[in-house]
């Protein structure tokens, strides 16, 4: 319980893996300004495994959550409703001056909705990104969270246009930069060397994988892994790629379940593919920075590869992060065999797409965000 004599409270929310990299620099920036405000960190428990949660808190120095709502997995409706139900009493007890949410997961919209219904201002970090694909649960979460937010921090300049087009006043939108890249720059020197990652996590200790001569694959989007035909086609393409370039594949729990369910384990084993468990941050950072190319359907990896200058082939039909294509190293290919193979050919023959680091991806986004929050509300 926080007494009235204490500083104004900012409730910060995390729930799923991609949130942890985003909240870490925000919590550090709040600590720097602890004369002005005090954080209260809520973990909804959307992700709960050691590999999906605890390792990130430890490695990124995120303080222990003040409360863990322990909602766990469920359908979208059940998960979202359960987060809302358990988050409400937290706000009743704390009476914060604002609630800060990051990213686009179910925890983001669930907590945002509870806050605004209680007339507590909502702050959204990573606002304004749009893929245009409303089949993606994250797109719905983005559009709705932005609509109800009071202060919206964007990672790329063009994102403001999406918000204005949806009727959001430009005075509420602040181009702050990319908190995920704050985390990347803060941790790059501590990244685990790729060879150590393989030694530590692979069952096969005789791997012949050389620096800048392997592809890193990550894949967990429902559109890629929940459909047997699509998953089967993508895996077949990856098996073919692996004959030319070894593939390292940390497997998300959702993907692992689907590979087993659809009977695709043998197909996966037929390629030169090293499967690993989901990895902690410093491990994935080490694998990413030493890869020749990254194949992914993640949003975060599209941005991180652009910041690192590593070519990225995105296994999705669209991206909500167009700056990674316009300025960075990213190409969008979907799940089409020909497009994936021809992008890989380009990487092998020419080294792939080069790019530049976008504006304000400079390691100071969280600092700018907290300064703005203080001047705006306190």
Selected from 161, 254, 372, 376, the binder of ligand UD1 by CB under 6 A is: 254
Using alpha carbons, select from 40, 42, 39, 43 the residue that is nearest to residue 16.
Answer: 43
Closer by beta carbon to ligand UD1, 8 or else 137: 137
Q: Is there a contact between 233 and 223 (Cβ–Cβ < 8 Å)?
A: no
Residue 272 three-state SS: coil
Please state at what angle helix 17-32 crosses helix 365-377, rounded to 10 degrees.
Answer: 60
Closer by beta carbon to ligand UD1, 137 or else 309: 137
Residue 352: phi, psi to the nearest 5?
85, -175
Active site residues: 220
Select the span of 44-52, 55-63, 269-277, 304-312 touching ligand UD1 (CB under 6 A): 44-52
Structure tokens at 99: 């609630």
- Give Cα 103 distance to the centre of its chain: 7
Question: What's the closest the beta carbon of residue 145 comes to ligand UD1, in angstroms?
Answer: 12
- 260 binding ligand UD1? (CB under 6 A): no
Closer by beta carbon to ligand UD1, 49 or else 204: 49
Site string for ligand UD1, 216-235 (x = CB under 6 A): ----x---------------
Selected from 34, 73, 270, 356, the binder of ligand UD1 by CB under 6 A is: 73
Closer by beta carbon to ligand UD1, 142 or else 364: 142
Question: What's the closest the beta carbon of residue 75 comes to ligand UD1, in angstroms?
Answer: 9
Closer by beta carbon to ligand UD1, 17 or else 364: 17
Instruction: Give the angle 28-30-31 at the CA atoms, nearest 5°.
Output: 65
Residue environment code for 85-118, b if the CB has 16+ CB neighbours within 10 A, otherwise e: ebbeebbeebebbbbbbbbbbbbbbbbbbbbbee
Measured CA to CA, the distance from residue 213 to residue 247 in angstroms comes to: 9
Selected from 13, 16, 219, 238, the binder of ligand UD1 by CB under 6 A is: 16
Q: Is there a contact between 312 and 301 (Cβ–Cβ < 8 Å)?
A: yes
Binding residues for ligand UD1 restricted to 50-69, rule: CB under 6 A: 52
Selected from 9, 10, 18, 324, the binder of ligand UD1 by CB under 6 A is: 18
Using alpha carbons, select from 152, 178, 177 the residue that is nearest to residue 144.
Answer: 152
Structure tokens at 230: 């699509």
Q: What number of chain residues touch ligand UD1 (CB under 6 A)?
A: 17
Selected from 8, 63, 121, 253, the binder of ligand UD1 by CB under 6 A is: 253
Closer by beta carbon to ligand UD1, 100 or else 284: 284
Helix (H) or strand (E) holding 42: strand 38-43
Closer by beta carbon to ligand UD1, 38 or else 318: 318
- 211 binding ligand UD1? (CB under 6 A): no
Torsion sign, CA atoms 316, 318, 319, 324:
positive
Question: What's the closest the beta carbon of residue 79 comes to ligand UD1, in angstroms?
Answer: 6
Select the span of 40-48, 92-100, 263-271, 369-377 touching ligand UD1 (CB under 6 A): 40-48
Selected from 10, 11, 14, 17, the binder of ligand UD1 by CB under 6 A is: 17
Residue 361: phi, psi to the nearest 5?
-95, 65
Binding residues for ligand UD1 restricted to 122-181, rule: CB under 6 A: 137-138
Using alpha carbons, select from 238, 255, 107, 103 the residue that is nearest to residue 178.
Answer: 103
Residue 219: CB partners within 8 Å, gap ≥ 6?
Answer: 225, 234, 249, 252, 255, 295, 296, 297, 315
- 48 binding ligand UD1? (CB under 6 A): yes
Residue 134 three-state SS: coil
Closer by beta carbon to ligand UD1, 271 or else 280: 280
Select the span of 14-22, 56-64, 88-96, 361-369 touching ligand UD1 (CB under 6 A): 14-22
Residues binding ligand UD1 (CB under 6 A): 16-18, 46-49, 52, 73, 105-106, 137-138, 220, 252-254
């Amino acid at each position: 319980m926080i007494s009235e004599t204490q500083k104004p409270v900012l409730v910060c929310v995390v729930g799923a893996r991609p949130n942890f990299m985003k909240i870490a620099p925000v919590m550090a920036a709040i600590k720097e300004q602890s004369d002005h405000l005090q954080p209260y960190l809520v973990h909804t428990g959307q992700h709960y495994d050691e590999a999906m949660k605890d390792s990130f808190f430890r490695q990124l120095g995120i303080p222990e959550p003040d409360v863990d709502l322990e909602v766990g997995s469920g359908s979208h409706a059940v998960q979202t409703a359960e987060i809302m139900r358990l988050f409400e009493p937290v706000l009743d007890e704390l009476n914060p001056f604002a609630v800060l949410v990051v990213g686009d997961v179910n925890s983001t919209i669930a907590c945002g909705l509870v806050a605004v219904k209680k007339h507590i201002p909502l702050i959204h970090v990573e606002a304004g990104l749009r893929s245009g694909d409303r089949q993606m649960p994250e797109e719905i979460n983005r559009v709705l969270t932005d609509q109800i937010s009071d202060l919206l921090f964007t990672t790329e300049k063009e994102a403001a246009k999406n918000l204005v087009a949806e009727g959001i006043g430009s005075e509420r939108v602040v181009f702050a930069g990319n908190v995920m890249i704050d985390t990347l720059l803060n941790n790059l020197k501590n990244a685990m060397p790729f060879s150590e990652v393989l030694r530590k996590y692979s069952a096969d200790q005789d791997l012949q994988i050389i620096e800048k001569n392997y592809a890193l694959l990550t894949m967990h989007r429902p559109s890629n892994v929940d459909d047997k035909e699509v998953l089967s086609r993508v895996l077949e393409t990856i098996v073919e790629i692996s004959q030319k370039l070894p593939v390292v594949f940390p497997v998300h729990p959702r993907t692992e379940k689907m590979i087993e369910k659809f009977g695709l384990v043998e197909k996966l084993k037929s390629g030169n593919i090293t499967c690993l468990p989901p990895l902690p941050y410093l491990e994935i950072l080490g694998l990413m920075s030493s890869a020749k190319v990254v194949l992914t359907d993640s949003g975060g990896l599209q941005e991180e590869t652009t910041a690192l200058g590593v070519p990225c082939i995105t296994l999705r039909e669209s991206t909500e992060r167009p700056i990674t294509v316009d300025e960075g190293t990213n190409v969008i290919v979907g799940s089409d065999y020909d497009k994936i193979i021809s992008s890989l050919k380009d990487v092998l023959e020419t080294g792939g797409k080069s790019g530049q680091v976008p504006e304000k991806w400079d390691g100071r986004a969280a600092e700018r965000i907290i300064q703005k929050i203080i001047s705006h509300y306190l």
